[in-house]
Amino acid sequence: MVNEENTDWGKSVAGIVIKESKVLLVRHTYGAGKGKLIIPGGYMKLNETPTDAVKREILEETGVTVEPLEVVGIRFNFKDWYVIFTAKYIGGEAQSDGDENSEAVWIDINEAVTRADVPDLTQKLLISVIDNNGKGFKDIPYDGSEKNGPFSLYGLK
């Protein structure tokens, strides 16, 4: 689980890594996303940049090295924010971290957006990337308000 020391609980990041038409996803082991395949990411550390955090989080969770490219989504609520990047695959073999996820897998991106074990938010972000090649933002309806109040999600046009 997340090391509580040096964690900035108000800021989190994630990365959409695509290699040969496949997206890197991890099967979450806890919380609301338990058992679901999501894009890798997590909380930033204090004094860490979002780009450094997404590189670190993806490497820690999957063993894959990436280089962040474009910001493709931002979610805000009353207590925190979440920034989603596309990220270029640099190297490494996808493998579970044995803690926060039970598997790290490459799945055809078009299959990922139809699977029942891929949550709505991940599907909407992937569809934005598929449809728009990383150009611009638009408001994407997303209701994640059960716990933390209203959310706004902005993704690609």
Domain ranges of the chain: 7-156
Summarised one tens digit per residue, pLDDT across range 107-140 is 999 999 999 999 998 998 998 888 876 554 555 5
Establish how many alpha carbons lie within 13 A of residue 44's alpha carbon, considering only the half-sphere containing its beta carbon. 20
CA angle centred on 31, ends 49 and 89, rounded to 5°? 40
pTM of the model: 0.83
Q: What is the DSSP letter of 2?
A: -
Compute the distance between CA of residue 53 and CA of residue 47 in angstroms, rounded to an integer. 10
Hey, what CATH topology would domain 7-156 get?
Answer: Nucleoside Triphosphate Pyrophosphohydrolase (3.90.79)
Going by C-alpha positions, the residue among 147, 153, 111, 144 that lies closest to residue 130 is 111
Low-confidence ranges of the chain (pLDDT < 50): 136, 146-151, 156-157
Stated as kind and residue range, the H or E segment containing 82 is strand 81-91
